Amino acid sequence: MKTLILIDGNALIHRAYHALPPLITKKGELINAVYGFTSILLKVLKEFEPDYLACTFDLAGPTFRDIEYKEYKAKRVKPPQELYDQIPRIKEVVKSFDIPIFEKQGFEADDIIGTLVSKIKAKPEIKSIIVTGDLDTLQLVDDDKVVVYTMKKGIKDTIIYNKESVIKRYGLEPKQIVDFKGLKGDSSDNILGVPGIGEKTAVELLKKFGNLKNLYQDLGNADLNHKLKAKLLEYKEQAFFSQYLATIRKDAPIEFDLKKCQRGEFDREKAIRLFKELEFNSLINRLPVV
């Protein structure tokens, strides 16, 4: 089976920026996020030797979620400008490896990844590995056809989530993650869910009913605590809207040609020049040999 690596650019940038101390070049340029991102990329290339590569990024401006729900991610502390200032440099690194970049106004990087995964599923000979700094994409895991490679701590301590490990961590299948967030909510994205329903209750409900749709279809005759049933009825609309907000889109309007993602030779000397400019001397020996 061939391997496609899908890189969640923004998630890795945030992970690297917060995991590493300030790293400043002799010219005064802050490059800790660039260094961390590049280190992860080199590790992935060595570890998986992928046949195909693609990288996704968020674009500035509101997404469809922001437009439909003004409070989406409203409680997040906005990252400092010095993080965003490093994104152009990170894209230079990606392009130096001749890795195509996918991004679309109005959609998050996760939605682009979900769309690419959906397109790739038609090709049974290809396995997708999502490389990310957070766990939002766990809902896309599909046995060993789609797995998530992420960091447990910092940028070096990594873990791979397949269907079995998602179940082990959450007690739920990957496809139930969005139903879980519909009930429990997601404080990091300011997704409300159903007030008063915590992780334990959400998991128990989904183990019993399978998904949010079945839960509400059977709610009238369900053997549930009266207060819990009343709470679910009161916040039914909010539960389904929360599920909607948490669901990664698989239909972003992007053009995708797998052949253009095929890993081939890249201009190693050009990459070395960029690494020297960024003072990534310790990473030059980790560059793949072409």
pLDDT value for 290: 65
Task: Name which of 205, 202, 204 is nearest 214 in CA terms.
Answer: 205
- The CATH architecture one would assign to domain 174-246 is Orthogonal Bundle (1.10)
CA distance 208 to 160: 28
pTM: 0.94
Whole-angstrom CA distances from 126 to 173, 181, 219, 271 are 22, 29, 41, 28
First CA to last CA across the chain, in angstroms?
A: 22
84's CB contacts (< 8 A; 6+ apart) are none
pLDDT value for 232: 95
Intervals of CATH 1.10.150.20 along the chain? 174-246
Using DSSP bridges, classify how beta strands 101-102 and 126-131 pair: parallel, antiparallel or unpaired: unpaired
Residue range 2-166+257-284 forms a domain whose CATH class is: alpha beta
CA distance 146 to 47: 17
pLDDT in tens, the chain (290 residues): 899 999 999 999 999 999 999 999 999 999 999 999 999 999 999 999 999 999 999 999 999 999 999 999 988 888 899 999 999 999 999 999 999 999 999 999 999 999 999 999 888 899 999 999 989 999 999 977 999 999 988 788 899 999 999 999 999 999 999 999 999 999 999 999 999 999 999 999 999 999 999 999 988 887 888 999 999 999 999 999 999 999 999 999 999 999 999 998 899 999 999 999 999 999 999 998 76
CA distance 2 to 53: 11
pLDDT value for 82: 94
Identify whether the C-beta of residue 90 lies closer than 8 Å to the C-beta of residue 36.
no
pLDDT value for 209: 94
